[in-house]
Structure 1
Amino acid sequence: MLRAVVIGAGFAGEGHTRALQHAGVEVVALCGRELPVVEARATALGVPHASTDWCATLERLRPEIIALATPAALRRDVIEAAVALDCHLYCDKPLATTTAEARALCSLVESTSLRHAFAATRRYDPSVVWLAELVAQGTIGAITKATYQVRAHLAPPLPWSWALSLEQGGGLLNGHFPHLLSILERVLAGPVCAATGKAAFAISQAPVLPGIHDFRDWGARADTLTPDELAQAEWRECDADTSYEAQLRFDTPTGEVSVALVSGPSVTAGQLRLVGERGTLIADGEAAFRIFLDGKELPIPSRLTAALPALDGGCQDRWAALAQDFVADIRGEPHAPYLTFHDGVRYQEAAEAIRRGHIWVH
């Protein structure tokens, strides 16, 4: 049986662990910063070893797979160790903190025969797969243009977290944008080939609060902050992007398609609108859609819903879908194509161009 060590004991660490276990991998250790937190999470997930020393754990256990569920600032050392130990890599997004680092890490793993997965996973949602099938079937003819509006944004007051620091790999363009690119690439059946845009930076400082261990704690504490806490807390500088707009081009089977993307507080309802030569498909939602053509809903076929692993009805199912393909590839079994570090580099290049207001052409 394949064995894995998961590095990162927060929300993504739990997700990666359950995904790999669902794919038939034995997760033999969970590593994190705070031993009581790691031990509790490992016990809950049925993982036999908990550690705060990932390096010693890898040397001792020598797994076949390493899952990276940490902030992006911690990627390089682990990926270099994985290559040295001949371990396959299952990595959350973003791939790195900068495009230059992402390219270097991708080049390192691609110089080996190791498998590497990049977890921009919303492309696995059954509604996304259905929308892609409708486009491929020519339901509205060739796509001529598209718009994509999502409400996701970061607004104060929020407790300080690595997600508010570009140096740590934070910001919506690092954490949120890869999901949207993965959706668009699947639906349009082609890669993003150009990007530009602009980002907003609405949070310059945030209070540092105790007891925040992962994304779920961060969101919950944001809803319960009191004026006294804000007055007494230490405040830390923030520089991550909190919303963005982008103009994208995709190289599709029927030619280039332009997509206008907005993610921010100005959006009142999420919607992806695909304009074709013979009609318009409207997908209401941000990542899980209800799809309409000429005012009539096109229900998601039950075969697509049944094909997605059923773990929690959300993020966990999509992590598991990626893990299935990744693990099958390692075993030499049939599998669907999945995103790799190469895609992580492309997405990072596009995100960095938007954040800086530059033009990127792949």
Structure 2
Amino acid sequence: MSQKLKVLVAGTGFAGEGHVDAFRAAGAEVVGIVGRTKSVVDEVAGKLAIGYAGTDWSEALTTCQPDIVSIATPGGAHYEPIKQAIACGCHVFCDKPMTHSGETAVDLCDLAQRKGVKTAYAASFRYAPSVLHAKQLVAAGAIGEPLEVECISHFNLERDIPFGWSHRAESGGGRLNNNFTHSLSIVTSVVGEKILSVSGEVRDDLGKAPIVEGVHNFMTRRNFIPKDLSDPSLKWGESNVEWSYTVLAQLESEHAARPVSVLFKHGGLNPRFNEDHIVFYGSRGAIYIKGHYGSGQLYVWGQDKAWNAVSLPQEIVDAVPDVAGETEQCWHYLVQEFVKDINGETVPPYPTFKEGSQYQQLIDIIRKNGSWTDVSDLA
């Protein structure tokens, strides 16, 4: 193209800065950034050398005339800005969760399809190097037919992190929105994208969190934990989201004759004893990846009946963006694919608002805790 694609970013925190870097690396021009607080957005724009900084999204769309908008705010603040951007004909790159509900996510998906704009949904840890490797191995038949997958993670999050969007469903909080979305994207990328059935249970293990002023960046919120939690003047906010979940799913796979069973088990506040992991079990072997998002070493159980560490193929090493941080690597990878697609290049399928809206509908279903059978009266 003779002219760079212009990008407008919503969000001034860790994700906003990460999206800026990713789009610049993909050859796009970041023309503006929008945030809630003028002093913060001015500071971030200055640090990142972005020409336009504002607090009014509608005004920014009119002034910057972007080709792409990049949404890097909490999920509860996604619906209206995306709706306005689609109406302006902008392509949309949106971090997870897509919105705060299945209904609003489906609405945005429909609007984007009718307008003919491209969308990308950044449940992007499917691009972690070992996950890409696992996908390649499963497709090559290394474990035979995939039968079962387990995703186990325990985050041991501090219970007294200041109250904010992560504590409220209407703001896009909860572990399903911010952990399950990545795990589901990883598994579907390896096994198959079609989700056949789901069952789940969620639990709020937290209850409340201290209200503290001045928290602007999600990644630095731990620095604001009050030193005296018994202070009678301290105010508290009520959580209304899950901090732990157990989900069972069945996926259709082109590599298997029968549906593949999947277990997603996450404890946001629980300590881990052994490492978090993802395992793909098959009829002739298994693949084990260290790390809750598959960012660690990959092992294969094969005919020798032993777990063997397997090195990344060179083509995967070469394809992974050379940037620090696994989150940033995955953003860069997806942004590259998205920009290439917009520019008319042929790229493999990547997650879009179709997947994002499906995930939000699944989260609504799981949160109902409607899968229990009362057996208290059994003889």
Q: TM-score, normalised by structure 1?
A: 0.94
Aligned to 1:328: 340
Q: How many residues align?
A: 357
> Where does the alignment leave 5 or more consecutive residues of structure 1 unmatched?
none
148-157 or 115-124, which moves further after superposition? Answer: 148-157
2:93 to 74, 90, 95: 90
Once the two structures are superposed, the pairs formed by residues 139-288 of structure 1 within 5 Å of their partners are 139-152=142-155, 154-222=157-225, 225-227=226-228, 231-253=232-254, 254=256, 255-264=258-267, 265=270, 267-268=272-273, 269-287=275-293, 288=295
2:297 to 266, 290, 296: 290
Counterpart Cα distance in 2 of 1:350 and 1:257: 17
Query: What is the SS of the residue equivalent to 1:101?
Result: helix
Contact persistence 2:155–2:271 (CA under 8 A): no
Counterpart Cα distance in 2 of 1:135 and 1:180: 17
Counterpart Cα distance in 2 of 1:218 and 1:118: 25
Query: What is the SS of the residue equivalent to 2:155?
Result: coil
Contact persistence 2:87–2:115 (CA under 8 A): no
Name the CA shift for 1:33/1:124 in 2 (closer, same or farther; >3 Å). Answer: same
Counterpart Cα distance in 1 of 2:156 and 2:246: 11
Aligned to 1:302: 314
What root-mean-square deviation, in Å, do the aligned CA atoms of Structure 1 and Structure 2 show?
1.6
Identity %: 32
Query: What is the SS of the residue equivalent to 2:105?
Result: helix
1:131 to 125, 134, 141: 134
Contact persistence 1:7–1:30 (CA under 8 A): yes
Name the CA shift for 1:40/1:131 in 2 (closer, same or farther; >3 Å). Answer: same
Counterpart Cα distance in 2 of 1:194 and 1:41: 43
Contact persistence 1:197–1:247 (CA under 8 A): yes
Counterpart Cα distance in 1 of 2:220 and 2:150: 33
Aligned to 1:100: 103
Partner amino acid for 1:25? A
Contact persistence 1:155–1:203 (CA under 8 A): no
What do the CA deviations read for 1:135-162 (whole angstroms, capped 9, x no partner)?
1111111011122211136551221010
What do the CA deviations read for 1:193-221 (whole angstroms, capped 9, x no partner)?
22111111012221111221121121343
Superposed displacement of residue 189, structure 1: 3.2
Contact persistence 1:127–1:300 (CA under 8 A): yes
Counterpart Cα distance in 2 of 1:190 and 1:86: 28
Partner amino acid for 1:346? Q
Partner amino acid for 2:148? K
Name the CA shift for 1:230/1:27 in 2 (closer, same or farther; >3 Å). Answer: farther
Q: TM-score, normalised by structure 2?
A: 0.90
Superposed displacement of residue 48, structure 1: 1.1
